[in-house]
Structure 1
Amino acid sequence: MTVVTEIEAERTPLRARLGHLVSRVRALPLHHRFALTGSLVTLVGMLVTGSIVSRSIEDGVVRNSAISSAVYMESFIAPLSQELVDAERLSPDTIARMQALLMQSPLSERVVGVKIWRHDGLIAFSSDPELIGQIFDPSEDLREAWQGHLNASFDDLTDAENAREREQGVALLEVYNPIHSILSGEIIAVAEFYLDATELEADLRAAHARAWAVVAAVTLVTFLALFGIVRSGSRTIASQTRALTGQLAELARVSAQNEALRTRVQDASRRGAETNERYMRRVSAELHDGPAQALALASLRLDALMRRASVAKDDPEAQNLRATLDEALKDVRDLCRGLTLPVLSGRSAAETLEMAIDAHERRTGARVVRGFGDTDLPAVLPHPILICIYRFVQEGLMNAFRHAPEAPVEVNAWWAGGCLMVAVTDRGPGFDMEQTAGIGLGLNGLRERVESIGGEFNVETHPGMGTHLSMVLHAEALA
């Protein structure tokens, strides 16, 4: 457990350094990041491409040299090796002829050593007489040559039979060439010969140098071209990013101003709603203390006047006058009650809903179905929100009573998704929204009242389908 903890402790600083390095790289401009990553990728690609090209050049040169050398050598060796069709070894006379042939120019200038192999690893001939008749384990190249393949490579001369060639101290090209029977075409032996590859090796080095130079030049030009394109694109992106950043900053500033204005408008609407309620309360008090009292006094003076004038109580004109005064007094008092709100400050949403419904039931005698509970709604709300809830329910219930007095009415309220939703639904006749668009002040006033504090107001109705009024107050509007 301690070892694991120590390992994790050692890894943490390393991860932190790597994370810091990655963060610094990501903070660089695009063309700088391309220069870092692109140079690494380009370098790896150049090395891989150069290696493949160099290897292909070397294989091609070696194979071409081997083919030409094999054809040249076979013209000398194949005729002398035909006795291996019937014999296991070459005769001493043939061996002597081959030795003499290899010592003559131009073979002596190019060929360092020759071996002729039989199937069982027996050396039937060698330029080193001590190896003739010895048996060695065949190499992989020798096995492939017995399958008819011509093989050539720069040999490292590590095999036991290569002691004489190692003494030469020069680069040697080892070639395995199958020897075929002139009559049947079957492989009767494999000739292994070593060519002095000093010039070939020098030519290969020069070819490698040229190939690497070309690959490096092409890679560099390609990288510089791509870097130029990326640099130009990076500058364009940087310019556009700066412009976009400026636009975003301006947009954020305007958005903040709009948000501040929206907040101020909502605050002003809330204060306006409270001020309006105070004015309505004052107007209600003035109506109650002024015209209502005057009408009540007029009704009393009418009784006194009728007694002094000896007018009968059942006089039609007197009864009509009294009914008119009573009706006017009732209208004024109803108007006073409609203008005045009960004390809502400190009430919960459920209590405000109950107060609005109770007031409607007392005034109209209608019964309203409740669809909410104390635990379903917020316990504390700002006073302007309570005013809006009360007026929404009041107006909704009164509209339902006016247009569908006998229809069932239901008030629902619930809290979901950070929103307070209140709905008034009746099962009355409904109406056509398109035909009644813009008619009446009640619904339009409700819409303005709800939307002024950041809420949403909706009306859903169709002829014969009833009417559904809903109000949605989002969490930010309730703050």
Structure 2
Amino acid sequence: MTQAQLVRTRGWGALCALRRRLGGWPLHHRFALAGSVVTLVGMAIIGTIVSGSITSGVVRNSAISSAVYMESFIAPLSQELAVAGSLSPQTIGRMDAILGREPLSERVISVKIWRRDGLLAFSSEADLIGRRFPPSGELLQAWAGQLNASFDELDGAESLREQQSGVPLLEVYNPIHSILTGEIIAVAEFYLDASELQQDLRRAEMRAWAVVALVTAATFLALFGIVRAGSRTIADQTRRLTTQLEELARISSQNEALRKRVQGASQRVSETNERYMRRVSAELHDGPAQALALASLRLDAVMRRAGIACDDPEVGRLRDCLDEALRDVRALCSGLTLPELDGRSVAETLDLAIRAHERRAGVDVERGFDRTGALGVAVRHPYAICIYRFVQEGLMNAFRHAPGAAVGVSADSRDGQVAIRVADDGPGFDPAARGLTGLGLSGLRERVESIGGSFEIDSAPGAGTRLIMTLPAAVPQ
């Protein structure tokens, strides 16, 4: 890194550090710092402009009045320059006499009358008469018809006497016109004692600066008061908002904890319910089912003892009733009992539910999922139960309401979620018109939402039906 780059880097770092430090200040403090700098700069600019305007206006007005006064006696004496190249000795003497009398002698320091070729036709210093000097810019402007006035710009060789006067001088260039033709025949350059004028200008400038400073200070104080009041309002609102945010965060934390407790309780209820159903299934299988099977066997022995023929119609009806009751009890046991789901992945749970439905309904179900990623990871038991029941209920609804329709189960994992769909190409229905009035779908929604998932029905008349369940993907066992 070069030295220049190092300096720029350090300077940028210092600027960033200053910005961070100022960022912690209250708003009205930052306004006071920035506003004072801007106000001072603005006051300096406005004061300079106003002061310059006052000086220019006063100098020009003074020059005009002085030029009119001086031209009243210089112009008549200079008319012979319209026809002659110089002034006569008599004219020069008359000018010296006029300039030597009061009050001109007290106010006018010197007078020069210029010809167009840079020749001095008259000068208060007699030794300069008849000499030529390079014309200054002000002199050229005067030959162009402009009246010029300025303070103490005495830089020419012809102004040595004026430079030695020791008083502030007002230098005026005044065109002299011919009385007959109106053409400029000469330029009068005269120097006036500007001591009083300079004092007046200083007082005027001081008053202007004072007014500018007072107006600027009043404006700054008014703005500072507004910003300070706004800053206090913002600070108060910020404190209130911070308090409200902290309260909301506390309530949100409590709600989250309650939600987790409710979700956990719901999961435990679901597991308890499944265990209860497995227990009921076992009790039915070991109790009523066994009793019905035993009754069917005992029926044959009773018939032999009683001498009743095997083809007796009443015996046949009794045997059919016992067989039907036994089938119903076994079917009920099979419906209440879930396969062993502990340690199963999403894909394995889907396979178990699909195979169970295929065995019961005698139909084929299309599969649309793989065993990789989140679908191949073992999930906690409540999630496996929910997945199994969702697929079981969805396939059974398709079997009941869309017989003969193609049905499929698909699943995928994306954006941290697992989506499982059961779809058929049956007649469909309008979910808004029908609503979830049955126990199956409404129970599914409650089961899915209880473990933090979402449940959706996508169906329309003639467009088939899709049941969609979405669960968090991060639900490992």
- The match for 1:115 among 112, 116, 134 is 112
Matches within 5 A, 1:145-294: 145-294=142-291
- The match for 1:361 among 352, 358, 380 is 358
Judge conservation of contact 1:421–1:471 (CA < 8 Å) in 2.
Answer: yes
Judge conservation of contact 1:376–1:414 (CA < 8 Å) in 2.
Answer: no
Matches within 5 A, 1:298-309: 298-309=295-306
Moved more, 341-350 or 301-310: 301-310
Structure 1 CA distance, aligned partners of 2:374 and 2:125?
Answer: 109
What's the counterpart of residue 428 of structure 2?
Answer: 430
Moved more, 105-114 or 161-170: 105-114
What's the counterpart of residue 392 of structure 2?
Answer: 394
What's the counterpart of residue 312 of structure 2?
Answer: 315
Judge conservation of contact 2:282–2:333 (CA < 8 Å) in 1.
Answer: yes
Return 5+ residue gaps in structure 2 as ranges.
none
Structure 2 CA distance, aligned partners of 1:93 and 1:223?
Answer: 67
Structure 2 CA distance, aligned partners of 1:327 and 1:122?
Answer: 146
Judge conservation of contact 2:369–2:411 (CA < 8 Å) in 1.
Answer: yes
Per-residue CA deviations over 1:389-419 (Å, capped at 9, x if unaligned) read: 1111111111111111211111121112222
Return 5+ residue gaps in structure 1 as ranges.
none
- The match for 2:450 among 439, 449, 452 is 452
Alpha-carbon distance change, 347 to 477 in structure 1, aligned in 2, over 3 angstroms:
closer
SS at match of 1:24: helix
Structure 2 CA distance, aligned partners of 1:32 and 1:374?
Answer: 64
Q: Find out whether 1:464 has 2:433 as its counterpart.
A: no
- 1:343 is displaced (CA, Å) by 2.2
Q: Find out whether 1:473 has 2:471 as its counterpart.
A: yes
Structure 2 CA distance, aligned partners of 1:74 and 1:323?
Answer: 148
Q: How many residues align?
A: 476
What's the counterpart of residue 330 of structure 2?
Answer: 333
| Identity %, equivalent residues | 67
Q: Which amino acid aligns with 1:111?
A: V
What's the counterpart of residue 418 of structure 1?
Answer: 416
Q: Which amino acid aligns with 1:237?
A: I
Moved more, 431-440 or 225-234: 431-440
Judge conservation of contact 1:350–1:377 (CA < 8 Å) in 2.
Answer: no
CA-based RMSD? 2.1
What's the counterpart of residue 32 of structure 2?
Answer: 35
- The match for 2:87 among 86, 90, 98 is 90
Structure 2 CA distance, aligned partners of 1:251 and 1:349?
Answer: 37
Alpha-carbon distance change, 322 to 210 in structure 1, aligned in 2, over 3 angstroms:
same
- 1:14 is displaced (CA, Å) by 4.6
Q: Which amino acid aligns with 2:408?
A: E
Structure 2 CA distance, aligned partners of 1:299 and 1:341?
Answer: 28
Q: Which amino acid aligns with 1:429?
A: P
Per-residue CA deviations over 1:254-276 (Å, capped at 9, x if unaligned) read: 11111111122222222222222
Alpha-carbon distance change, 120 to 365 in structure 1, aligned in 2, over 3 angstroms:
farther
Judge conservation of contact 2:413–2:473 (CA < 8 Å) in 1.
Answer: no
Per-residue CA deviations over 1:179-212 (Å, capped at 9, x if unaligned) read: 2222222222222211111111111111111111
Structure 2 CA distance, aligned partners of 1:396 and 1:417?
Answer: 25
What's the counterpart of residue 64 of structure 1?
Answer: 61
- 1:11 is displaced (CA, Å) by 5.1
- 1:21 is displaced (CA, Å) by 2.7
Judge conservation of contact 2:168–2:198 (CA < 8 Å) in 1.
Answer: yes
Give the TM-score normalised by structure 2.
0.94
Structure 1 CA distance, aligned partners of 2:10 and 2:288?
Answer: 87
Judge conservation of contact 2:177–2:183 (CA < 8 Å) in 1.
Answer: yes
Structure 1 CA distance, aligned partners of 2:333 and 2:120?
Answer: 132
- 1:477 is displaced (CA, Å) by 6.8
Q: Which amino acid aligns with 1:402?
A: R
Moved more, 398-407 or 215-224: 215-224
Structure 2 CA distance, aligned partners of 1:318 and 1:174?
Answer: 149
Structure 1 CA distance, aligned partners of 2:185 and 2:386?
Answer: 112
- 1:92 is displaced (CA, Å) by 3.0
Alpha-carbon distance change, 449 to 149 in structure 1, aligned in 2, over 3 angstroms:
same
Matches within 5 A, 1:18-33: 18-33=15-30
- 1:13 is displaced (CA, Å) by 5.1
Structure 2 CA distance, aligned partners of 1:283 and 1:111?
Answer: 131
Alpha-carbon distance change, 98 to 396 in structure 1, aligned in 2, over 3 angstroms:
same
Alpha-carbon distance change, 7 to 275 in structure 1, aligned in 2, over 3 angstroms:
farther
SS at match of 1:173: strand
Give the TM-score normalised by structure 1.
0.93
What's the counterpart of residue 440 of structure 1?
Answer: 438
- 1:451 is displaced (CA, Å) by 0.9
Q: Which amino acid aligns with 2:462?
A: G
What's the counterpart of residue 383 of structure 1?
Answer: 381
Q: Which amino acid aligns with 2:343?
A: G
Per-residue CA deviations over 1:438-471 (Å, capped at 9, x if unaligned) read: 4210000000011111111111222222211111
Alpha-carbon distance change, 327 to 150 in structure 1, aligned in 2, over 3 angstroms:
farther
Structure 2 CA distance, aligned partners of 1:184 and 1:315?
Answer: 161
- 1:39 is displaced (CA, Å) by 1.5
Structure 2 CA distance, aligned partners of 1:311 and 1:151?
Answer: 152
SS at match of 1:374: coil
Alpha-carbon distance change, 71 to 293 in structure 1, aligned in 2, over 3 angstroms:
same
What's the counterpart of residue 368 of structure 2?
Answer: 371
Judge conservation of contact 2:374–2:473 (CA < 8 Å) in 1.
Answer: no
Q: Which amino acid aligns with 2:30?
A: R
- 1:131 is displaced (CA, Å) by 2.5
Structure 1 CA distance, aligned partners of 2:472 and 2:179?
Answer: 103
What's the counterpart of residue 137 of structure 1?
Answer: 134
SS at match of 1:120: coil
Structure 1 CA distance, aligned partners of 2:392 and 2:270?
Answer: 15
- The match for 1:77 among 74, 78, 88 is 74
